[in-house]
Structure 1
Amino acid sequence: MTAFWAFLLEYKTHLLFGVGLIVGLLAAIHAAMTKRDVRAAIAWVGVVILSPFFGAFLYFLVGINRINRSRRLQHKEYLLQEQVNGKHDETTNIADISGTQFESLKKAGNKLSRFPIWSNNNITPLLGGDEAYSAMIAAIDNATKTIAMQSYIFDNDVIGKRIAQALIRARQRGVTVKVLIDAIGAKYSRPSIVTLFRNTGIDVSLFETHFFTFKMPYSNLRCHRKILIIDGHTAFSGGMNIRESFTSEICRGAPMKDVHFEIKGPLVFQLLLVFFHDWSFTTDEQLIPANWVPKPETLPEANIAARCITSGPDSDISSTHRLIQAACAIAQKHIRIQSPYFLPDQVLLGALNTAARRGVRVDILIPGKNNLYLVNCAMMAQLNQVLDSGCHVWRSNGPFDHSKLFTVDDGWTLMGSSNWDARSLRLNFEVDIEVYDRTFSERIGKHIDGEIEKATPVTLETLKSISFIKQLRNKIIWLASPYL
């Protein structure tokens, strides 16, 4: 035994080097074999090689995708039952609804989404927190059976408490209430809103994972979805978190902007399945649609065709990213984009630039004032790459605008929780809705145009007028844009 310890002490440096080499080599091989994005693979291999022990530990901690995909299968069964029972038939007349070029977009969406396109939906835009939160609270107060709520941020502020109290009142009436909040988003306010739900009978859970023997929030993977479903027939979804900063009451007439949506029709069932998946992933509790969907189901008067597009670091990875590519490819006249965080990768930049070179007008609206300083700097460093090809970029005036909207040729719209950045399109769990409807798309297009009329254009001359020091700062921050 003495000889063994003497051997370890004499050759400890060599042994540590050997162990580090083996561990680093295994981590580098795993990254090279499993990463789909060559940039991600190169980055992780570089980190591991340059720092074998720390790099391998960091890769093991946040670089390996451990997301369970198996529970997706049950949702396909639920959707099949809906169609076999004749409740909802897949919409086929896309050319009549939106235009002939959208037939190919639908085919692309069929490959990317596990949901079919269903008609008979009514989707109402809600502008800002004043409209959205009051509608949500009213719907919660009218609930009679079930409420499912999911949010990235649910602040413990004036608005958060009002919505929490409405949920508590519903539970006191005998309504089943389940609330899912992202573990990172729950920390945006102290104390967490979760404390208000203790001993109320409401099931609250934080979207998180297990690491070894202790619980740990996904340090780099976040559930960014925002969903509220009332009695299985009314839903609210979009990009708006639960925060008082979106209301004029608190912000003295100058709140942050956003567009949320009230939804009625079969699309609500799809959103319910998205919530079911996230709930079962987090809690291991299997929820059954029969207990959450009203019978008989009533359809709204409107006839909007739509479906959910889910994305995340699981079997749905890159689905929204690829759908955006396809939408840019079929565009013939006009692309409108409104995004608070516009940091597309080279693939999406190529799609936009190619569309612009084909003669499609591309309007990109970003905030003049951004709530994330680093993201704003990175965006400014990249705008020349779309301006060079003839895209039009605008910076909105007034309060920060958090809206996430995308329209093509006034016949198709994508809206929801996804931003145009690497975090949303590769790392976060997101839910978006693609809509095939000319009237609805024209309405969203007019909303974006109205904001553009009040916005300030960004040109190549604008970017050149920025001082060299600020340009350098922006470029340095832009280098880290995949991690912002």
Structure 2
Amino acid sequence: MDAFVTQWGQGVDRWLLRLEPFWPHLAAMISVALAITVTIHVSQNKRDARAAAAWTGLVWLVPVFGALLYFLLGVNRIRRRARQLTGGKIETDEGWRVAAEPLPLHGHFQELSRLVGRLTHLPLTDGNRITPLDAPAAYQQMLDAIESANESIFLATYIFGNDAAGRPVVEALARAVQRGVKVRVLVDGVGSLYSLPSVVWRLRRNKVPVQRFLYSLAPWRMPYINLRNHRKFMIVDRETGFTGGMNIRAGYIQTPPSITDLHARLEGPVVGQLLRSFAADWLFSCGELLETSYRGLAQLGEVKARGISAGPDADFDKRRLTLLAAIGAAEHRIRIVTPYFVPDLTLLATLQLAMLKGVQVQLIVPQKNNLRMVHWASLHALRWLVSEGAELYLSTPPFDHSKVMTVDGHWVMLGSGNWDARSLRLNFEFDLECYSDQLAGTVDGSIDERLPDCRRMDTAAFRDMAPWRRVRNALAHLMEPYL
């Protein structure tokens, strides 16, 4: 046996020696073939010319490794799999009629409502009660709702910490399971790793049914590493919902908090749309089909609302198009609060056009960000908006993770989505569009309360910025398609 192994090894060595003069040519042929293959695939599958150009440049300038990165991060295989499992139907309601749909009170929002309806294939629901909550209040109300549940609890989140915030939720869910409540928990595959050990083992040890969205530690089994489920919502007894930007993490409830956020409690028919979105994600993750009928009352408040599911599957570009439509509908004022603001050129140009027609644009972003490169790129984009007349405010710590937009004191959009390429193109997001003077007034009031503690950044502040910082920000912005 040893003689055979020795003889085989010598044979391999001889072949390698014979091929040695040809290795540079073979390597060049392989790298060129990979680059050509990726270029063809990019040109046929990428709708964003800038992203296509960036990937093409990468695979030619970084041979082999660039193609490997594209295979892991650039190929969207999720759309095909989502269509196979759900048929793209579970999150839509094809039976609703435009003629029967309620319309916003203000005329210039009626066309916006019709447009978003055609985009999402979901009706605008009437009779909703939507209560904005800061993170500690939202966390406590979610815990109370879990404790009082008697039929079902469906919870989806990006990050579920195995910490002082996550453990009480696990214990409450376990008690719900023990009293016969149907519990389903969906955690993103990457988000579940923010705490080690992961909270998933604690959930399973307590017999709480849990799935991880697109999870695998094996790279060859993980072709979706760049596509994350960023949605955060909970539906209790198919009649009460919670959604917004809040993850389940200790930083929200510690004293003093290290992070703040905006979440909302939902009551009314729009909860059925949260339920449909969760059911689609759950079916995608494990193949189980859940009951999606809303059980609550039809008339609980005055808010007209609609859920907007967005992602790199059948829902591609829905959120981005909604934002463009809302900016175009504005007549007086647009207010945006977001932790990550690196929009594409089209969104920037649409905001600029709004300002040119006299619309006031106010943006609030954190003064200190947890993602430095995103913050630098954001400052570069914001510099141009400020030069066109936008008002920019930098919020002081704690880190504000809220994601909300109001238009003309009537339209509100809140949820999980940010203003960056990841949220607009890669992540699975869920946002809520609402039509209500009262709700918009409440949200605008909370924005007004935080403005005195913010630092205003005007053109002079950008002009006085150190030259090396401006260069740093501009270089970071070159990475916008990847941020």
AA paired with 1:403? Answer: S
- Contact 1:76/1:114 (CA < 8 Å) preserved in 2? no
RMSD: 2.5
Within a 5 Å distance, the mapping from 1:410-429 to structure 2 comes to 410-429=409-428
State how far apart, in whole Å, the 2-side matches of 1:58 and 1:191 are. Answer: 28
State how far apart, in whole Å, the 2-side matches of 1:16 and 1:371 are. Answer: 41
AA paired with 2:331? Answer: Q
Query: In the alignment, does 2:88 pair up with 1:91?
Result: no
Q: More displaced, 343-352 or 207-216? A: 207-216
Alignment deviations for residues 248-282 of structure 1 (CA, whole Å, 9 cap, x no partner): xx223x44221100001111111111111111111
- Contact 1:90/1:119 (CA < 8 Å) preserved in 2? no
AA paired with 1:279? Answer: W
State how far apart, in whole Å, the 2-side matches of 1:308 and 1:79 are. Answer: 12
AA paired with 1:111? Answer: R
Query: Which residue does 1:263 correspond to in 2?
Result: 266
State how far apart, in whole Å, the 1-side matches of 2:102 and 2:271 are. Answer: 20
- Contact 1:75/1:273 (CA < 8 Å) preserved in 2? no
Query: Which residue does 2:146 correspond to in 1?
Result: 140
Within a 5 Å distance, the mapping from 1:370-409 to structure 2 comes to 370-409=369-408
AA paired with 2:478? Answer: L
When residues 474 and 408 of structure 1 are mapped into structure 2, their CA distance, relative to the original with a 3 A threshold, is same
Quote how far apart the aligned CAs of 1:446 are. Answer: 1.8
- Residue ranges of structure 2 left out of the alignment (5+ in a row): 1-10
Quote how far apart the aligned CAs of 1:182 are. Answer: 0.7
State how far apart, in whole Å, the 2-side matches of 1:407 and 1:227 are. Answer: 21
AA paired with 1:433? Answer: L
When residues 210 and 370 of structure 1 are mapped into structure 2, their CA distance, relative to the original with a 3 A threshold, is closer
Matched residue of 1:289: which SS?
Answer: coil
AA paired with 2:401? Answer: H
Query: In the alignment, does 2:264 pair up with 1:251?
Result: no
State how far apart, in whole Å, the 2-side matches of 1:138 and 1:324 are. Answer: 34
Quote how far apart the aligned CAs of 1:112 are. Answer: 2.1
State how far apart, in whole Å, the 2-side matches of 1:72 and 1:120 are. Answer: 29
When residues 371 and 212 of structure 1 are mapped into structure 2, their CA distance, relative to the original with a 3 A threshold, is closer
Query: Which residue does 1:241 correspond to in 2?
Result: 247
AA paired with 1:138? Answer: D
Query: In the alignment, does 2:59 pair up with 1:48?
Result: yes
Quote how far apart the aligned CAs of 1:476 are. Answer: 2.2
Matched residue of 1:131: which SS?
Answer: helix
AA paired with 2:119? Answer: L
Query: Which residue does 2:93 correspond to in 1?
Result: 79
Query: In the alignment, does 2:32 pair up with 1:18?
Result: no
Matched residue of 1:390: which SS?
Answer: coil
Quote how far apart the aligned CAs of 1:232 are. Answer: 0.4
Q: More displaced, 67-76 or 27-36? A: 67-76
Alignment deviations for residues 65-111 of structure 1 (CA, whole Å, 9 cap, x no partner): 10124245464597346x59xxx9953322xx2x1111221232123
TM-score normalised by the chain length of structure 2: 0.91
- Contact 2:93/2:121 (CA < 8 Å) preserved in 1? no
AA paired with 2:102? Answer: T
- Contact 1:113/1:309 (CA < 8 Å) preserved in 2? yes
- Contact 1:153/1:241 (CA < 8 Å) preserved in 2? yes
- Residue ranges of structure 1 left out of the alignment (5+ in a row): none
Alignment deviations for residues 132-173 of structure 1 (CA, whole Å, 9 cap, x no partner): 111000000001111110100111111111111111110111
When residues 399 and 231 of structure 1 are mapped into structure 2, their CA distance, relative to the original with a 3 A threshold, is same
Within a 5 Å distance, the mapping from 1:47-196 to structure 2 comes to 47-67=58-78, 68-70=81-83, 71-73=85-87, 75=89, 79-80=93-94, 91-94=101-104, 97=105, 99-128=106-135, 130-196=136-202
Quote how far apart the aligned CAs of 1:4 are. Answer: 9.2
Matched residue of 1:431: which SS?
Answer: strand
Query: Which residue does 1:229 correspond to in 2?
Result: 235
Query: Which residue does 1:369 correspond to in 2?
Result: 368
Selected match of 2:284 from 270, 275, 281 = 281
- Contact 1:309/1:432 (CA < 8 Å) preserved in 2? yes
Query: In the alignment, does 2:429 pair up with 1:430?
Result: yes
Q: More displaced, 172-181 or 363-372? A: 363-372
Q: More displaced, 195-204 or 412-421? A: 195-204
When residues 217 and 260 of structure 1 are mapped into structure 2, their CA distance, relative to the original with a 3 A threshold, is farther
AA paired with 1:133? Answer: Y
Quote how far apart the aligned CAs of 1:477 are. Answer: 2.2
State how far apart, in whole Å, the 1-side matches of 2:456 and 2:66 are. Answer: 43
Matched residue of 2:434: which SS?
Answer: strand
Query: Which residue does 1:337 correspond to in 2?
Result: 336
State how far apart, in whole Å, the 2-side matches of 1:54 and 1:162 are. Answer: 44
- Contact 2:233/2:241 (CA < 8 Å) preserved in 1? yes
Alignment deviations for residues 281-327 of structure 1 (CA, whole Å, 9 cap, x no partner): 1112222325xx43xx4234213111111111112122111111111
Matched residue of 1:190: which SS?
Answer: coil
- Contact 2:145/2:236 (CA < 8 Å) preserved in 1? yes
Query: Which residue does 2:207 correspond to in 1?
Result: 201
State how far apart, in whole Å, the 2-side matches of 1:77 and 1:227 are. Answer: 15
AA paired with 1:289? Answer: T
State how far apart, in whole Å, the 2-side matches of 1:321 and 1:366 are. Answer: 19
State how far apart, in whole Å, the 2-side matches of 1:257 and 1:185 are. Answer: 18
- Contact 1:90/1:118 (CA < 8 Å) preserved in 2? no
Quote how far apart the aligned CAs of 1:36 are. Answer: 0.5
When residues 77 and 245 of structure 1 are mapped into structure 2, their CA distance, relative to the original with a 3 A threshold, is closer
Q: Which runs of 4+ in 1 moved over 6 A?
A: 1-7, 210-213
